């Protein structure tokens, strides 16, 4: 035993000696960029994910029509498309693809791949969670929501029936008919059950058998009063004939490929920021030949998006994928612009714990980190002032209010609570580097919202008294949900501010992530500390969510006027005027205080000095192919 | 290996001599405890432990109750954050400018209460369960121990999340009732708030940790079972049985006292585990609610800032460790004092 | 022997079945499901996804199907890391957890048991108190404090070991996580060993041996160690099973790709297939560990054999 230890000791010492070259130094020699990326990506099929973590890796493996500029947020360098043009009202765009564009297996990147990608993205059976992102494509929403009746009627394939005739039919079914969860047609055996089933399900979602059953006796479906049975028969017959078919062609979705290298997009409304929008990964292409080799167009998570099959058109290709350990990408030998790729590869390290990540950086294991926790900022500024970076980022922190709760439904109460938050103090002492929010949307490009939020405890007190709670007396005890330990400090500070300035006591409750999210989505909460990060550089990424029924609203607040302004902006072709209308809508929403923003994000992270070509960017989409590592 | 020599039965051992054990059982009560107290007094480490624990518990109980003595543990002063110890703040201030000394004392109440309650419940169940399994053996043992296996592998986190959800409505009713009872029905909001600050942690935590105590006795039961099996195979138990003593009597009078050592040790080891578990649960919304605190939470918060502001970690850890060190030495002393075989010392 | 083994095997199967059933319904009682991301998924899409995974069916149907698939050997795929087969998760992460757990347990046993024996030998002396103080440090200072401290000192300052990361082939990367993980168990073991030893040392046969003039060291190692280890061994079994099935705190501090993080994340997201697979894996480990413990217990106490 002792002898064994004696033998091991020099071996250990030697190993320690060999460690003297840090991982970063070795990586510099090899041209590998070591990037802290916080957590494991949910998947690498970019049509099926929604996160920011995934976007970094996807950005290395795939390339959108328009590239990311390493220096400017609004720079629009060519990507998979070499050039593009649009018509006068910005509803028709033509992209000309790179003639040398290649997938990482050497096949050509064609416009058909893009058509296939948008087809797949919108395919109802794929159920892409972020399909909304491509809804600007004309008819995309109808196809994705599988509004079969509407699609067939618009395509004029139902003899003798037009959309005008049929638009009163309950295609989506009658929500009042309570169907058992997961009810299926074959389960319904009696006529009464079947009648309920077809009534509750609606024509659009019925299968062939059910439609044929209706066709046999048209009274089995609740048609609008006075609807011509001949037309009904014609409609049901066509729907039964097409049941189960993919209606992509008939839906006439606004994407087409006149030739191999030309992609034509037709939009449902003017989208002046389309080039910026298509930089988001939901608009990236997928390799048709690889996807279909491993499954149908509508299959979720087939082998195509796993190592070694994953094939991209980006500057890099997948080399190693070890779950919770690392993902490494290497040069794509077929990339059209490979001569200008500055590094040989990137290693993404999913280090969940930001303290561990920062320690790894300081020990020379990473070129950059995902985030520095605010507790460590002081320490890090002292130890590595050159490497510490603090940059604005398009994200906002806010308190979400459930406006359907009594008392919180009073806008004066919400305003009072907003006025009693001292945002400057929060950002000075707790959220170091963050900026006091004066509205929801942070400044982006030429958009700057009105300054709505101020700190005014006197006015806050007065408003609370007007609402019936002078000096906070008899104010109900509400609970504010938080979900991450890092949110605790700012929540406690806001709690103390409300107590000090309004004399009201709010509880804080930490919840596990799942319960926290579901409580908000079910409006089963009073207040919740939340945040939102923009997906693209346009205020709509912050404003669309506050519409009625939007899954991210979760405040119970909505307004017809607000939605009218958003629609008006959507139809406005002049960019400057459009932003003006959006600004009005934001002012309208913020003055109702369904949310109480308190800080705008800053990204606190570390970056080694030998990394060149990395510049502050609002969206934090740093193109990795233009990076250089100095030795 | 040599079988232990068993030829001699020393007469002084009351347990191994069943005749004496039966005869003295009537007056055993007083003399046993007196003996134990006498032996405990001689053990300096145990006495030091006892004094320290008492001082800490009293400090946590009494000092925060004296109005105006301590700073408000939840009073924030952001510009004054992360001050090192000294001056107005003996232990310094935390990341929100709150006084750490008062937070440690206030937090101690919760941690000590939670630690003792849960440990008591879990040890009681564990000892009984393990003792029966170890003593009965055969099918009873198999069933009891397979239940333990199942409980071991159940995802504790899910159980706790569901438990919290189930208990929550109950505890909030309990809180309101308790506040009404203590502060009176016509108390103004300020009074209600002060009452709430100390009542709420109790009414929300005690039921939860009672419940957790009922789930965390597994290792104890296995240790006790092993120990009981071992003791039960010894000759004096055989002797007791041949004298026709009842099973319960043999188990609780003769076997368990001879297994006290590991039980006491495991008890003192459970307390810190539970205190830290409270901090983990508070991140699921089940422990103490912010801005109130506990030692576990203070240690957790301090650990994140230990490089730049070590006092944030040091003082809560100091109280935590001192308490547990003392409990352990006290536990060891108690074990020695209660050991029936050390009567001769 | 064969009969015992067979009976325990059957008991194990029953335990696993009960465990599966309880866990399944516990998961279904959670107030959230796997497709609840922070960016809400629109209703029509969520319905499709849930239908795709059969989550819209009645719970008993889902139960039957899951059980059937499992019996056929199909554990399904993760819903959090969507599409990743559960078997891939286990084959990738479990070896790391085993490696870490074995080293940590070695640290715990090699540190804890000698310390406990030593303390019992020198009972109520400065050495005893010193040894128990050291043991208590392992309990009083939680691993989320010790881990970062070790990483800062031995990783970053002295550069002896890597501060984070895990490599199956480089033992250097195992040392800090294993020590951090092993310390707490070492503390438990030393306390339990001390108590067990004292319990044995006060038995009558020891007095007899002493009277016969047997040396103190021989009494300690030859006569008492077996009986003294009984509580420690009862602790080691389940502790070992727990340690090799992953420890999320250690994995988080040292970025170790083990099972612990998978398990916590799966619970956070209601990822049924992964939770079930890991619970069953852990259950199987517990069953085996407790069986081995029982066998060891009999070996440590030969008298149990005859009466069984």
**pLDDT per position as a tens digit, A567-591:** 999 888 888 999 999 999 999 999 9
Please indicate whether, in this complex, the C-beta atoms of A495 and B95 are within 8 angstroms of each other: no
Residue A145 clears pLDDT 90, i.e. is over it? yes
Which of A138-142, B94-98, B174-178 is predicted most confidently?
Answer: A138-142
For an interface test with C, the pick among B153, B263, B277, B324 (most C C-beta atoms closer than 10 Å) comes out as B153
Residue A377 clears pLDDT 80, i.e. is over it? yes
The domains located in chain C, with CATH, are: 86-307 (1.10.3720.10)
Tell me the pLDDT band of B11, cut-offs 50, 70 and 90. very low
Please indicate whether, in this complex, the C-beta atoms of A324 and C261 are within 8 angstroms of each other: yes
Higher pLDDT, A29 or C36: A29
Of the ranges A614-628, B7-21, B104-118, which one carries the lowest mean pLDDT score? B7-21
Nearest CB to C152; choose among A124, A305, A359: A359
**Segment A468-493 mean pLDDT:** 89
Please indicate whether, in this complex, the C-beta atoms of C40 and A353 are within 8 angstroms of each other: no
What is the count of residue pairs from A and C with beta carbons less than 8 Å apart? 161
* Beta strands at A527-533 and A388-401: parallel, antiparallel or unpaired: antiparallel
DSSP per residue over A503-564, as a string? ---EEEEE--HHHHHHHHHTT--SEEEEEEE-SSSSTHHHHGGGSTT-TTT-SS---HHHHH
Residue B199's Cβ-side half-sphere holds a number of Cα atoms within 13 Å equal to 19
**Segment A155-174 mean pLDDT:** 88
The side-by-side arrangement of strands in the sheet containing A506-510 is A435-436, A595-606, A388-401, A527-533, A478-482, A506-510
Residues from chain B that touch A509, judged by Cβ atoms under 8 A, are 285, 289
Which of A127-136, B336-345, C224-233 is predicted most confidently?
Answer: A127-136
User: What is d(CA B308, CA A379) in angstroms, rounded to the nearest whole number?
Assistant: 6
Higher pLDDT, B220 or A551: B220
Residues from chain C that touch B155, judged by Cβ atoms under 8 A, are 23, 26, 263, 267, 275, 279
Helix (H) or strand (E) holding A92: strand A92-97
Residue A16 clears pLDDT 80, i.e. is over it? no
Residue B233 clears pLDDT 70, i.e. is over it? yes
User: What is d(CA C104, CA C244) in angstroms, rounded to the nearest whole number?
Assistant: 9
pLDDT of residue A2: 42
Residues from chain C that touch B229, judged by Cβ atoms under 8 A, are 297, 301, 304
CB-based contact B271:B115 (threshold 8 Å): yes
Residue B23 clears pLDDT 50, i.e. is over it? no
**Residue % of chain B over a pLDDT of 90:** 22
Nearest CB to A323; choose among C31, C92, C253: C92
User: What is d(CA B181, CA B188) in angstroms, rounded to the nearest whole number?
Assistant: 14
Of the ranges A348-357, B163-172, B333-342, which one carries the lowest mean pLDDT score? B333-342
Looking at every residue in chain B, the average pLDDT score rounds to 81
Using the structure block, give the residue that is written with the tokens 């209706």. Answer: A214
Residue A421 clears pLDDT 70, i.e. is over it? yes
Higher pLDDT, C40 or A121: A121
Residues from chain C that touch B230, judged by Cβ atoms under 8 A, are 227, 230, 297, 300-301, 304
**Segment B54-73 mean pLDDT:** 84
**Segment C91-115 mean pLDDT:** 93
* Model pLDDT for residues C108-137, shown as the tens digit of each residue: 999 999 999 999 888 888 898 888 888 888
DSSP state of C156: I
Does C52 reach chain A within 8 Å, measured CB to CB? Answer: yes
Tell me the pLDDT band of B340, cut-offs 50, 70 and 90. low
pLDDT of residue B341: 64
Residue C304 clears pLDDT 60, i.e. is over it? yes
What was the ipTM of the complex prediction?
A: 0.90
pLDDT of residue B175: 84
pLDDT of residue B18: 37
Residues from chain C that touch B222, judged by Cβ atoms under 8 A, are 234-235, 237-238, 290, 293
Query: Would you state the structure tokens that stand for residue B111, as one six-digit string?
Result: 């941690």
Does C255 reach chain B within 8 Å, measured CB to CB? Answer: no
Please indicate whether, in this complex, the C-beta atoms of C156 and A359 are within 8 angstroms of each other: yes
- State the angle between helix axes of C126-140 and C86-121 in degrees (0 to 180), rounded to the nearest 10: 160
Does B254 reach chain C within 8 Å, measured CB to CB? Answer: no
**Segment C84-92 mean pLDDT:** 93
DSSP per residue over B274-315, as a string? HHHHHHHHHTTT-SPPTT---HHHHHHHHHHTTTT-THHHHH
Please indicate whether, in this complex, the C-beta atoms of C148 and A324 are within 8 angstroms of each other: no
**Segment A390-402 mean pLDDT:** 93
Please indicate whether, in this complex, the C-beta atoms of B78 and A509 are within 8 angstroms of each other: no
**Segment C26-40 mean pLDDT:** 84
* Beta strands at A435-436 and A595-606: parallel, antiparallel or unpaired: antiparallel
> In chain C, positions 62-121, which contact chain B (CB-CB < 8 Å)?
none
* Model pLDDT for residues A429-472, shown as the tens digit of each residue: 998 889 999 999 999 888 999 999 999 999 999 999 999 999 88
Cα distances (angstroms) measured from residue B272 to each of B112, B154, B266, B278: 10, 22, 11, 10
The end-to-end CA distance of chain A, in Å, is: 45
Cα distances (angstroms) measured from residue A124 to each of A120, A132, A143, A173, C306: 9, 12, 7, 18, 69
Does B339 reach chain C within 8 Å, measured CB to CB? Answer: yes
Query: Would you state the structure tokens that stand for residue A178, as one six-digit string?
Result: 């309570």
Among residues A55, A39, A23, A24, which one has the least CA distance to residue A353? Answer: A39
Among residues B183, B224, B176, B216, which one has the least CA distance to residue B200? Answer: B176
Please indicate whether, in this complex, the C-beta atoms of C31 and A356 are within 8 angstroms of each other: no
* Model pLDDT for residues A497-509, shown as the tens digit of each residue: 999 999 998 989 8
Helix/strand/coil percent split, chain A, to 5? 40, 15, 45
Residue A5 clears pLDDT 60, i.e. is over it? no
Tell me the helices (H) and strands (E) count for chain B, helix number first.
12, 0
Helix (H) or strand (E) holding C5: helix C2-29
Please indicate whether, in this complex, the C-beta atoms of A131 and C45 are within 8 angstroms of each other: yes
CB-based contact A272:A282 (threshold 8 Å): no
- Name chain C's partners: 3 or more CB pairs within 8 A: A, B
Residue A1 clears pLDDT 50, i.e. is over it? no
- Name chain B's partners: 3 or more CB pairs within 8 A: A, C
* Beta strands at A345-349 and A326-331: parallel, antiparallel or unpaired: antiparallel
User: What is d(CA A527, CA C115) in angstroms, rounded to the nearest whole number?
Assistant: 52
User: What is d(CA A358, CA A290) in angstroms, rounded to the nearest whole number?
Assistant: 39
Distance from A515 to chain C by nearest Cα, in Å?
6
Looking at every residue in chain A, the average pLDDT score rounds to 90
User: What is d(CA B177, CA B199) in angstroms, rounded to the nearest whole number?
Assistant: 10
Among residues C249, C282, C236, C53, which one has the least CA distance to residue C144? Answer: C249
**Segment B91-102 mean pLDDT:** 89
Which of helix, strand or coil describes residue C166? coil
User: What is d(CA A590, CA A575) in angstroms, rounded to the nearest whole number?
Assistant: 22
* Beta strands at A32-36 and A345-349: parallel, antiparallel or unpaired: parallel
Cα distances (angstroms) measured from residue A430 to each of A383, A422, A436, A599: 20, 12, 12, 11
Residue B32 clears pLDDT 80, i.e. is over it? no
Residues from chain C that touch B299, judged by Cβ atoms under 8 A, are 142, 145
For an interface test with A, the pick among C80, C156, C165 (most A C-beta atoms closer than 10 Å) comes out as C165
Residue B5 clears pLDDT 70, i.e. is over it? no
Residue B21 clears pLDDT 50, i.e. is over it? no
**Segment A77-91 mean pLDDT:** 94
Among residues A377, A359, A296, which one has the least CA distance to residue A123? Answer: A296
Residues from chain B that touch C136, judged by Cβ atoms under 8 A, are 321, 324-325, 328
Which of A473-477, B86-90, B138-142, C18-22 is predicted most confidently?
Answer: C18-22
Please indicate whether, in this complex, the C-beta atoms of C82 and A305 are within 8 angstroms of each other: no
Residues from chain A that touch C46, judged by Cβ atoms under 8 A, are 127
Among residues A435, A434, A461, A418, which one has the least CA distance to residue A592? Answer: A418
Nearest CB to A493; choose among B78, B161, B300: B78
Using the structure block, give the residue that is written with the tokens 């003017």. Answer: A270
Residue C227 clears pLDDT 90, i.e. is over it? no
DSSP per residue over C209-257, as a string? HHHTT--HHHIIIIIIHHHHTHHHHHHHHHHHHHHHT--HHHHHHHT--
Looking at every residue in chain C, the average pLDDT score rounds to 88
**Residue % of chain A over a pLDDT of 90:** 67
pLDDT of residue A366: 94
Query: Would you state the structure tokens that stand for residue B107, as one six-digit string?
Result: 């937090």
pLDDT of residue C34: 84
DSSP per residue over B99-155, as a string? BHHHHHHHHHHHHHHHHHHHHHHHHHHHHHHHHHHHHH-HHHHHHHHHHHHHHHHS-
This prediction has a pTM of: 0.89
User: What is d(CA B141, CA B145) in angstroms, rounded to the nearest whole number?
Assistant: 6
pLDDT of residue A495: 95
Among residues B57, C117, B48, which one has the least CA distance to residue B40? Answer: B48
Contacts of A13 (CB under 8 A, 6+ apart): none
pLDDT of residue A537: 84
**Segment C282-308 mean pLDDT:** 81
Residue A116 clears pLDDT 90, i.e. is over it? yes
Please indicate whether, in this complex, the C-beta atoms of C139 and B317 are within 8 angstroms of each other: no
pLDDT of residue A182: 67
DSSP state of A180: P
pLDDT of residue B305: 86
Which of helix, strand or coil describes residue C167? coil
pLDDT of residue C306: 53
* Model pLDDT for residues A599-627, shown as the tens digit of each residue: 999 999 999 999 999 998 888 889 999 99
User: What is d(CA C230, CA B231) in angstroms, rounded to the nearest whole number?
Assistant: 11
User: What is d(CA A476, CA A474) in angstroms, rounded to the nearest whole number?
Assistant: 6
* Beta strands at A478-482 and A506-510: parallel, antiparallel or unpaired: parallel
Please indicate whether, in this complex, the C-beta atoms of A356 and C164 are within 8 angstroms of each other: yes
By C-alpha distance, the chain A residue nearest B288 is A509
Of the ranges A96-100, B133-137, B199-203, which one carries the lowest mean pLDDT score? B199-203
pLDDT of residue C250: 92
DSSP state of C142: -
> In chain B, positions 44-103, which contact chain C (CB-CB < 8 Å)?
45
Residues from chain B that touch C132, judged by Cβ atoms under 8 A, are 328-329, 332
Contacts of A601 (CB under 8 A, 6+ apart): A392, A393, A394, A395, A396, A397, A434, A442, A531, A533
pLDDT of residue B342: 56
Neighbours of A295 (CB within 10 A): 13
By C-alpha distance, the chain B residue nearest C253 is B304
* Model pLDDT for residues B122-164, shown as the tens digit of each residue: 999 999 999 999 998 889 999 999 999 999 899 988 988 888 8
For an interface test with A, the pick among C26, C82, C269, C270 (most A C-beta atoms closer than 10 Å) comes out as C82
pLDDT of residue B8: 30
Among residues A627, A618, A631, which one has the least CA distance to residue A279? Answer: A618
- Name chain A's partners: 3 or more CB pairs within 8 A: B, C
Using the structure block, give the residue that is written with the tokens 């039960």. Answer: B232
Residues from chain C that touch A127, judged by Cβ atoms under 8 A, are 45-46, 48-49, 52
* Model pLDDT for residues A308-346, shown as the tens digit of each residue: 999 999 999 999 999 999 999 999 999 999 999 999 999
Residues from chain B that touch C239, judged by Cβ atoms under 8 A, are 219
What is the phi-psi region of residue A433: left when phi exceeds 0, alpha when psi lies from -120 to 50, beta otherwise?
Answer: left
Tell me the pLDDT band of A33, cut-offs 50, 70 and 90. very high
Residues from chain A that touch C252, judged by Cβ atoms under 8 A, are 352-353, 356
**Residue % of chain C over a pLDDT of 70:** 98
């Amino acid at each position: 035993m002792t002898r064994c230890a004696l033998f091991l000791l020099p071996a250990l010492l030697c190993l320690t000696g060999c460690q003297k070259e840090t991982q970063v130094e070795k990586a510099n020699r090899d041209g590998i960029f070591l990037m802290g990326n916080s957590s494991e990506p949910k998947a690498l099929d970019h049509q099926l994910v929604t996160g920011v973590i995934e976007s970094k890796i996807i950005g290395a493996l795939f390339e959108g029509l328009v590239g990311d500029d390493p220096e400017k947020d609004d720079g629009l360098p060519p990507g998979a498309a070499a050039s593009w043009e649009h018509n006068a009202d910005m509803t028709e765009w033509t992209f000309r693809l790179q003639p040398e564009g290649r997938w990482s297996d050497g096949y050509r990147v064609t416009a058909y791949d893009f058509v296939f990608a948008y087809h797949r993205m919108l395919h109802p059976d794929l159920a892409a969670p972020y399909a909304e992102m491509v809804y600007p494509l004309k008819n995309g929403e109808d196809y994705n929501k599988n509004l079969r009746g509407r699609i067939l009627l618009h395509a004029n394939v139902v003899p003798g029936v037009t959309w005008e005739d049929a638009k009163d039919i309950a295609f989506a079914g009658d929500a009042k008919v309570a169907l058992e969860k997961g009810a299926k047609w074959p389960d319904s055996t009696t006529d009464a059950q079947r009648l309920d089933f077809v009534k509750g399900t609606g024509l659009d979602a019925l299968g062939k058998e059910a439609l044929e059953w209706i066709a046999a006796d048209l009274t089995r479906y609740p048609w609008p009063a006075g609807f011509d049975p001949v037309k009904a028969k014609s409609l049901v017959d066509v729907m039964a004939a097409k049941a189960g078919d993919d209606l992509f062609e008939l839906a006439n979705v606004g994407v087409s490929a006149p030739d191999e290298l030309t992609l034509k997009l037709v939009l449902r409304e003017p989208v002046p920021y389309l080039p910026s929008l298509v930089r988001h990964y939901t608009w990236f292409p997928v390799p048709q030949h690889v996807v279909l080799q491993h499954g149908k167009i509508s299959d979720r998570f087939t082998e195509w998006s796993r190592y070694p099959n994953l094939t991209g058109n980006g500057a890099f290709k997948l080399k190693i994928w070890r779950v919770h350990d690392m993902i490494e990408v290497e040069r794509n030998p077929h990339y059209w612009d490979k001569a200008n790729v500055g590094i040989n590869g990137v290693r993404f390290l999913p280090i969940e714990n930001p303290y561990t990540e920062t320690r790894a950086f300081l020990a020379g294991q990473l070129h950059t980190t995902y985030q520095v926790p605010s507790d460590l900022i002081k320490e890090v500024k002292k130890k590595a002032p050159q490497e510490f970076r603090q940059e604005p980022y398009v994200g906002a922190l806010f308190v979400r209010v459930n406006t359907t709760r009594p008392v919180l439904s009073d806008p004066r109460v919400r305003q009072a609570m907003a006025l009693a938050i001292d945002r400057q103090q929060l950002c000075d002492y707790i959220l170091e580097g963050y900026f006091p929010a004066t509205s929801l949307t942070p400044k982006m490009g030429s958009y700057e919202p009105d300054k709505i939020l101020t700190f005014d405890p006197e006015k806050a007190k007065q408003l609370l008294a007007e609402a019936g709670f002078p000096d906070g007396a008899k104010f109900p005890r509400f609970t504010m949900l938080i979900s991450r330990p890092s949110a605790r400090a700012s929540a406690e500070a806001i709690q103390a501010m409300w107590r000090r300035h309004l004399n009201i006591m709010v509880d804080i409750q930490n919840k596990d992530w799942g319960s926290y999210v579901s409580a908000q989505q079910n409006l089963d909460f009073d207040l919740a500390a939340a945040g939102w990060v923009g997906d693209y550089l346009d205020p709509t990424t912050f404003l669309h969510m506050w519409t009625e029924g939007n899954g991210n609203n979760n405040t119970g607040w909505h307004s017809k006027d607000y939605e009218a302004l958003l629609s008006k902006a959507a139809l406005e072709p002049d960019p400057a005027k459009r932003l003006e209308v959006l600004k009005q809508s934001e002012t309208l929403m913020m003055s109702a205080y369904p949310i109480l923003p308190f800080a705008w994000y800053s990204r606190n992270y570390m970056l080694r000095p030998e990394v060149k070509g990395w510049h502050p960017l609002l969206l934090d989409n740093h193109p990795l192919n233009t990076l250089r590592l100095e030795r | 290996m040599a079988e232990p020599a068993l030829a001699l039965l020393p007469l002084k051992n009351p347990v191994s001599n069943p005749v004496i054990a039966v005869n003295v059982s009537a007056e055993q009560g007083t003399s046993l405890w007196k003996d134990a107290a006498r032996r405990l007094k001689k053990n300096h480490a145990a006495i030091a432990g006892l004094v320290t624990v008492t001082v800490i518990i009293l400090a946590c109980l009494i000092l925060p109750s004296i109005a105006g003595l301590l700073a408000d543990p939840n009073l924030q002063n952001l510009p004054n954050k992360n001050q090192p110890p000294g001056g107005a703040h003996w232990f310094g201030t935390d990341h929100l400018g709150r006084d750490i000394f008062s937070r440690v004392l206030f937090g101690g109440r919760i941690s000590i209460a939670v630690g003792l309650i849960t440990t008591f419940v879990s040890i009681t169940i564990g000892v009984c369960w393990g003792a029966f399994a170890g003593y009965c053996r055969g099918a009873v043992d198999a069933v009891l121990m397979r239940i333990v296996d199942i409980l071991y592998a159940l995802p504790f986190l899910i159980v706790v999340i569901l438990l919290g959800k189930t208990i929550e409505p109950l505890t909030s009713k309990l809180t309101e009732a308790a506040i009404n009872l203590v502060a009176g029905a016509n108390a103004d909001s300020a009074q209600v708030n002060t009452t709430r600050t100390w009542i709420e942690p109790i009414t929300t935590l005690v039921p939860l940790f009672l419940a957790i105590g009922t789930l965390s006795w597994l290792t104890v039961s296995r240790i006790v079972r092993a120990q009981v099996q071992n003791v039960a195979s010894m000759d004096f138990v055989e002797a007791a049985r041949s004298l026709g003593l009842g099973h319960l009597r043999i188990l609780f009078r003769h076997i368990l006292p001879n297994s006290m050592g590991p039980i006491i040790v495991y008890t003192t080891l459970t307390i810190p585990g539970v205190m830290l578990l409270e901090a983990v649960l508070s991140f699921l919304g089940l422990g103490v609610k912010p801005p109130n605190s506990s030692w576990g939470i203070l240690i957790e918060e301090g650990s994140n800032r230990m490089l730049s502001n070590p006092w944030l970690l040091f003082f809560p850890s100091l109280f935590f460790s001192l308490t547990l060190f003392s409990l352990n030495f006290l536990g060891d002393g108690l074990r020695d004092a209660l050991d029936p075989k050390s009567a001769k010392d | 022997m064969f009969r015992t083994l067979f009976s325990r095997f059957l008991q194990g199967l029953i335990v696993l079945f009960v465990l599966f059933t309880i866990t399944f319904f516990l998961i279904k009682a959670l107030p959230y499901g796997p497709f609840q991301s922070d960016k809400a998924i629109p209703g029509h899409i969520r319905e499709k996804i849930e239908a795709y995974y059969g989550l819209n069916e009645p719970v008993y149907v889902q139960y039957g199907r899951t059980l059937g698939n499992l019996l056929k050997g199909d554990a399904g795929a993760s819903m959090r890391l969507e599409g990743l087969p559960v078997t891939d998760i286990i084959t990738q992460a479990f070896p790391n957890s085993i490696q870490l757990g074995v080293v940590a347990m070695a640290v715990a046993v090699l540190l804890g048991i000698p310390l406990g024996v030593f303390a019992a030998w020198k009972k109520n002396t400065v050495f005893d108190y010193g040894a128990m103080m050291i043991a208590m440090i392992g309990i009083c200072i939680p691993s989320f404090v010790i881990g970062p401290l070790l990483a800062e000192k031995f990783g970053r300052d002295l550069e002896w070991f890597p501060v984070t990361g895990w490599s199956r082939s480089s033992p250097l990367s195992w040392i800090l996580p294993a020590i951090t993980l092993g310390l707490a168990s070492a503390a438990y073991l030393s306390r339990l060993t001390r108590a067990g030893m004292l319990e044995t040392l006060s038995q009558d046969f020891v007095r007899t041996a002493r009277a016969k003039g047997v040396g103190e060291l021989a009494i300690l190692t030859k006569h008492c160690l077996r009986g003294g280890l009984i509580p420690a061994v009862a602790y080691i079994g389940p502790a070992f099973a727990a340690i090799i099935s992953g420890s999320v705190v250690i994995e988080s501090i040292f970025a170790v790709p083990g099972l612990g993080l998978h398990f916590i994340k799966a619970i956070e997201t209601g990822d049924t297939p992964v939770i079930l697979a890991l619970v069953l894996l852990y259950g199987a480990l517990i069953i085996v560990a407790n069986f081995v413990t029982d066998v060891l217990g009999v070996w440590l106490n030969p008298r149990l054999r005859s009466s069984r």
